[in-house]
């Protein structure tokens, strides 16, 4: 059995547990805490299926906080199990939720990493392709741009399989410098257009080769 098939079986199992939890709530067999657990579990299963299928579901910014919340929930539930006096029904819910959550923490945290092609829009993929082509022939890309009272300069290099962008931004008298590295060129394109006034088109125009003849 390969890893992908194991993940699919895991997702099917978790989906079945969610359906059982929903059924139990409908039949009146769960508390308000159980309702919250089923709701969070449903969201987590959506993320699990997205990770397995390589599809970007909902927004990447929700998955790592959800993984953190699940990790905190696991610790809290373990505390209740070992330090509290839960009833048999509560113990069943707590143990099920703890096992359910612990297995998902690492998966959802990795799924929420924005630096993956699955989160890129078609425009970002095309922009990343252009930047990648330029960096295959240029040692570095350096661009400056003035826009109203904003100014930005960017230096982009490729180091191994990673793309590194050094940014200087000025707004009035304020100046800030920062640097980020990415595995995907599409994420580099997203970063430049979101955090600077420099677009991929600005860079390609500057480094565009003149037509022959």
- pLDDT tens digit sequence for 160-198: 889 999 999 998 788 999 999 999 999 999 999 999 989
Question: Tens digit of pLDDT for each residue in 80-112?
Answer: 888 877 777 777 777 877 887 888 999 999 999
What is the reported pLDDT for 1? Answer: 56
What is the reported pLDDT for 17? Answer: 83
Cβ contact 70:105 at 8 Å: yes
The pTM for the full model equals 0.81
Give CA 65 to chain center in angstroms.
10
Element (H, E) at 21: helix 3-26
For 120, residues 6+ apart whose C-beta sits below 8 A from its C-beta are 128, 184, 186, 187, 190
Cβ contact 80:86 at 8 Å: yes
Mean pLDDT score of the chain, rounded to an integer? Answer: 88
Cβ contact 84:151 at 8 Å: no
> Three-state SS for 31?
coil
Whole-angstrom Cα distance, residue 198 to residue 155?
A: 11
> Three-state SS for 171?
strand
Whole-angstrom Cα distance, residue 84 to residue 42?
A: 27
Lowest mean pLDDT among 6-10, 89-93, 149-153, 204-208: 89-93
Cβ atoms within 10 Å of 101's Cβ, excluding its own: 23
What is the reported pLDDT for 211? Answer: 45
Cβ contact 41:105 at 8 Å: no
What is the reported pLDDT for 29? Answer: 63
> Three-state SS for 113?
coil
- pLDDT band per the 50, 70, 90 thresholds, residue 210: low
What is the reported pLDDT for 213? Answer: 45
Find residue 142's DSSP bridge partners.
155
Higher pLDDT, 10 or 127: 127
- pLDDT band per the 50, 70, 90 thresholds, residue 30: low
């Amino acid at each position: 059995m390969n890893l992908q098939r194991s993940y699919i079986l895991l997702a099917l199992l978790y989906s079945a547990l969610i359906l059982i939890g929903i059924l139990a709530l409908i039949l009146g067999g769960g508390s308000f805490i159980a309702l919250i657990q089923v709701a969070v579990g449903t969201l987590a299963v959506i993320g699990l299926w997205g990770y397995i299928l390589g599809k970007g579901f909902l927004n990447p910014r929700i998955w790592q906080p959800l993984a953190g919340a699940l990790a905190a929930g696991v610790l809290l539930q373990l505390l209740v199990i070992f330090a509290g006096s839960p009833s048999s029904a509560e113990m069943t819910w707590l143990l099920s939720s703890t096992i359910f959550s612990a297995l998902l923490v690492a998966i959802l945290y990795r799924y929420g990493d924005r630096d993956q092609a699955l989160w890129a829009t078609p425009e970002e993929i095309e922009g990343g392709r252009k930047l990648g082509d330029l960096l295959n022939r240029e040692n570095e890309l350096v661009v400056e741009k003035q826009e109203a009272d904003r100014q930005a300069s960017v230096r982009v290099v490729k180091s191994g399989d990673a793309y590194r962008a050094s940014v200087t931004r000025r707004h009035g008298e304020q100046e800030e410098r920062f640097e980020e590295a990415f595995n995907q060129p599409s994420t580099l394109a997203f970063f430049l257009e979101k955090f600077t006034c420099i677009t991929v088109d600005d860079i390609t125009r500057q480094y565009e080769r003149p037509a022959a003849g």
